[in-house]
């Protein structure tokens, strides 16, 4: 039995890593406790669809405490009935392209899938809504800019980043090289403070800082690569990729309610959604017309370096 960490922090250990540790240690089952009160079970992808997967379930923090307080002389007993079925399914990635003057593309991405405990409003209706608004606003202007805009809404992000992985892996090397940058939006409300995760691409951090400075915005930069959204699949194939996320290293903000039954639309403050969209819009607008290289693509050896030690 483990606790789900606050998802976006410098010292976060992802639930899938804890699941793997439990399985490797010989556990026959896995219980994931929510970290927030209110009798709300945790959810989230942990397994790898491998033959040695073990049964897993999310529980509330109240249930976890009751089990932990049973005492050594009175072993805790919990009966769960887990039902499931495996069957083929088809997911769809949604893509809209507006060509620019040159051959390069700025990818603006978000995932539109979610878990069914609530409405997945923060994670990630906020990102999907921002992508649509930025596309709608910029489309009439992109034709005169250096780079084209490719807006992408990925599916199956919550299940192993599958939608973006299949997309990026399916590109030719030339098609990957034509992507100047991926700006990924995932949970851009829940706090008024939006951070930029630059995935180990130092020059991308320089770009983000320059854009924020010119726009008069405060955007903290998080340098290490994080495998917590679709930007990861671009970065691991050598494409400069950033993720914009609200509430990084703010475990008391409303972002703590993602992946619970509290992630409903009333959790999204209008001002925070507008603020997160503004940060994203500035990054995209500057990327579309940025002179020269936004950030260099990485070679195979450089990718190995940023992936080393990654959870």
Is pLDDT above 60 for 200? yes
Tell me how far apart the alpha carbons of residues 11 and 282 are, in angstroms, rounded to a whole number: 29
Its pTM stands at 0.94
Between vectors from CA 284 to CA 191 and to CA 171, what angle results, nearest 5°? 110
Model pLDDT for residues 2-50, shown as the tens digit of each residue: 999 999 999 999 898 999 999 999 999 999 999 999 999 988 887 777 8
What's the pLDDT at 132? 98
Is pLDDT above 90 for 77? no
Cβ(15)–Cβ(44) below 8 Å? yes
Model pLDDT for residues 213-242, shown as the tens digit of each residue: 999 999 999 999 999 999 999 999 999 999
What's the pLDDT at 52? 86
Model pLDDT for residues 81-136, shown as the tens digit of each residue: 878 777 888 999 999 999 999 999 999 999 999 998 899 999 999 999 999 999 99
Average pLDDT rounded to a whole number, residues 59-83: 80
Percent of the chain surpassing pLDDT 70: 98
Query: Average pLDDT over the chain, rounded to whole?
Result: 94
What's the pLDDT at 72? 65
Tell me how far apart the alpha carbons of residues 188 and 284 are, in angstroms, rounded to a whole number: 15
Is pLDDT above 70 for 311? no
What's the pLDDT at 7? 92
Handedness of CA 162, 167, 172, 177 (dihedral sign): negative
Model pLDDT for residues 149-172, shown as the tens digit of each residue: 999 999 999 999 999 999 999 999
Could you tell me the pLDDT band of residue 76, with boundaries at 50, 70 and 90? confident
DSSP 70-106: S-TTS-------------------EEEEE--SSS-EE
Long-range contact list for 267-274, CB < 8 A, 24+ apart? 267/121, 267/122, 267/190, 268/121, 268/122, 268/125, 268/126, 268/189, 268/190, 269/189, 271/192, 272/188, 272/189, 272/190, 272/191, 272/192, 272/246, 273/126, 273/129, 273/130, 273/188, 273/189
Could you tell me the pLDDT band of residue 70, with boundaries at 50, 70 and 90? low
| 149 phi, psi to nearest 5 deg | -115, 125
Could you tell me the pLDDT band of residue 79, with boundaries at 50, 70 and 90? confident
Tell me how far apart the alpha carbons of residues 236 and 298 are, in angstroms, rounded to a whole number: 9
b (16+ CB within 10 A) / e for 25-55: eeeeebbbbbbbeeebbbbbbbbeeeeeeee
Is pLDDT above 70 for 290? yes
């Amino acid at each position: 039995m483990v606790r789900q960490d606050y998802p976006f922090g410098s010292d976060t250990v992802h639930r899938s890593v804890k699941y793997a540790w439990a399985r490797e240690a010989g556990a026959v089952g896995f219980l994931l406790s929510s970290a927030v009160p209110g009798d709300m079970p945790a959810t989230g992808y942990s397994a790898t669809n491998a033959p040695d997967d073990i049964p897993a379930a999310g529980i509330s923090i109240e249930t976890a405490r009751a089990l932990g307080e049973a005492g050594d002389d009175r072993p805790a007993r919990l009966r769960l009935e887990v039902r499931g079925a495996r069957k083929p399914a088809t997911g769809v990635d949604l893509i809209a392209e507006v060509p620019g003057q040159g051959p390069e593309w700025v990818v603006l991405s978000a995932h539109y899938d979610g878990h069914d405990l609530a409405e997945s409003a923060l994670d990630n209706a906020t990102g999907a809504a921002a992508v649509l608004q930025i596309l709608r606003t910029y489309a009439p202007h992109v034709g005169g800019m250096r780079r084209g805009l490719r807006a992408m809404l990925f599916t199956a992000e919550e299940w192993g980043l599958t939608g973006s992985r299949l997309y990026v892996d399916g590109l030719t090397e030339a098609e990957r090289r034509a992507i100047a940058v991926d700006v990924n939006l995932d949970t851009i409300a829940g706090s008024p403070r939006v951070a930029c995760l630059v995935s180990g691409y130092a020059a991308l951090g320089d770009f983000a800082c320059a854009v924020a400075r010119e726009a008069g915005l405060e955007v903290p930069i998080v340098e290490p690569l994080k495998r917590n959204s679709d930007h990861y699949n671009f970065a691991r194939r050598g494409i400069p990729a950033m993720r914009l996320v609200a509430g990084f290293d703010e475990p008391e903000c409303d972002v703590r309610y993602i992946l619970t039954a509290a992630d409903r639309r009333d959790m999204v403050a209008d001002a925070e959604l507008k603020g997160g969209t503004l940060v994203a819009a500035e990054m995209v607008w500057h990327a579309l017309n940025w002179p020269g290289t936004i950030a260099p693509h990485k070679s195979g050896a450089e990718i190995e370096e940023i992936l080393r030690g990654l959870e």
